[in-house]
Amino acid sequence: MNDKEFGQRVRQLRETAGITREQFCDDELELSVRQLTRIEAGTSKPTFSKIQYIATRLGMGLYELMPDYVSLPERYSKLKFDILRTPTYGNEDLMNKRDFMMTEIYDDYYDDLPEEERIVVDTLSSLFDVLDTDSRDYGKDILDDYLHQSYHRSKLSVNDIMILRLFIEHCQLEGLVAGTSNHTLFMDLVRTLPQAEYDVHSESLFIVRDLMFAIVRILFSKELYAHIPTYIEKIEGIMELSQDFQKKPIVNLVKWKYELKAQNNRESAERCYNEAVMLANLLNQVHLKEKLQMEWEKDLTS
């Protein structure tokens, strides 16, 4: 059964049951009306989780409804993981390597990916564009379509986390004026994210870590220091759980900034800075070490 045949079957079954698309999608946390419309038209390849939801809504067993489901290509999965895993720290060579991998995904795999994977690829591309250009012009459609679902999901997937990260980067550029809807959403996320559950393999927990780092950046810019110790604790917990200490120097950067800005403790901050530089050396992160030194000098003069 191809996508078009599957979509036609879903539509026929839904209409026979007398259920509108709005009724079928309910609160749109699992499936939006726009997504269902694309699935029924055969223009969107449904993911396994969406097929499960559709089967449940139709009162059917999964295997009565599920079309042939093809696992993701191994090379694509590796490219996505490498892109997510490799920090660039503004290094042009690393950014070019990242862009080359993104091009390979779009050229060789994108057209055959299920919708959920296309979303994460488009989210990644928009995120990099936002970070590289300091412009909120990228990713607006993704946030309009999927932020509501990701924000209210009881257990966050990799896709949800990436969409939330895109939202956070938009918030950073927006400036987050108190009283706006995005400010309210951001502050609610700050409070709830440390207690959230994640449908993420331990090898991919760094994605949660990086989302938390992005939130901490805004907390510093808004002088909302009270939340930062909780985030430091959570980030260090993720590192211990995943045994991934690649960004331990960044944790020390967060600690020194907290000691300087919230505690006014220059001595403690300097210890954190020295440890950050030492760790960058041990990890052979030369470009990061230079960034840390520049940031320390800037903090001392600000």
Instruction: Write the single-letter amino acid at 97.
Output: K
State what percent of residues in the chain have pLDDT above 70: 96
Sequence-separated contacts (24+) of 87-96 with Cβ below 8 Å: 87/246, 87/247, 87/288, 89/285, 89/287, 89/288, 89/291, 90/287, 90/291, 91/287, 94/287, 95/132
Tokens linked to 166: 């895109």
pLDDT in tens, 134-186: 999 999 999 998 998 888 887 888 889 999 999 999 999 988 888 899 999 99
pLDDT in tens, 80-89: 989 988 777 7
Give the closest residue to 6 by CA, choosing from 44, 48, 42: 42
pLDDT number for residue 289: 92
pLDDT number for residue 244: 87
Tokens linked to 168: 């956070």
Separation CA 155–CA 9 (nearest Å): 30
pLDDT number for residue 71: 63
pTM assigned to the model:
0.77
Q: Which residues pair with 156 in a beta bridge?
A: 198
pLDDT number for residue 62: 62
Q: Which residues of the chain have pLDDT under 70?
A: 1, 61-64, 66-71
